[in-house]
């Protein structure tokens, strides 16, 4: 059974590139256009890893991570690793992401190999 990864990004082109990179490596992919859309799609199915943008409409990445880690409604995903994939490279934002519960921070534009290395390291069994 392949591992399922959720991609959350308001950019269709980023979702497409990340999705293609992951699918070529045998992962199953689902996507969401922002944090709120992602929360709506967390229905209890096993997700091995979440890749999330920071700057998005409706619910940004940091708020999404806080919601997943702290809201009992999403208890199934409390320990799901989250990688932030963003144009933000400021230390302050990274610290906010870590404090919220993100496991890794990758700055766009990204190298597919680097993303895959992080995914392979973090995707839960």
Output the domain CATH number for residue 101. 3.40.50.2300
Task: Please give the pLDDT value at position 1.
Answer: 72
Burial of 111 (0-12, 13-18, 19+ CB in 10 A): exposed
C-alpha Rg value of the chain to the nearest Å: 13
Dihedral angle of Cα 87, 57, 44, 103, to the nearest 10 degrees:
20
Average pLDDT over residues 108-125: 92
Q: What percent of the chain has pLDDT over 90?
A: 97
In this prediction the pTM is: 0.96
Its domain, for residue 24, covers 4-122
Average pLDDT over residues 109-117: 93
pLDDT in tens, 22-67: 999 999 999 999 999 999 999 999 999 999 999 999 999 999 999 9
Q: List strands edge to edge, sheet with 4-8.
A: 28-32, 4-8, 49-52, 82-86, 104-107
* The total number of structural domains that make up the chain: 1
Residue 94 has, within 13 A of its CA and on its CB side, a CA count of 8
pLDDT in tens, 85-101: 999 999 999 999 999 99
H/E segment holding residue 58: none
């Amino acid at each position: 059974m392949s591992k399922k990864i959720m991609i959350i990004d308001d950019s269709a082109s980023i979702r497409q590139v990340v999705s293609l990179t992951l699918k070529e490596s045998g992962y199953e992919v689902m996507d969401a256009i922002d944090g709120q859309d992602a929360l709506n799609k967390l229905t209890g199915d096993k997700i091995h890893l979440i890749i999330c943008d920071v700057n998005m409409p409706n619910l940004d990445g940091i708020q999404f991570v806080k919601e997943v880690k702290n809201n009992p409604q999403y208890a199934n995903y409390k320990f799901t690793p989250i990688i932030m994939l963003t144009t933000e490279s400021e230390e302050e934002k990274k610290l906010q992401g870590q404090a919220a519960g993100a496991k890794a921070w990758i700055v766009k534009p990204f190298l597919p190999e680097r993303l895959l290395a992080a995914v392979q390291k973090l995707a839960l069994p």
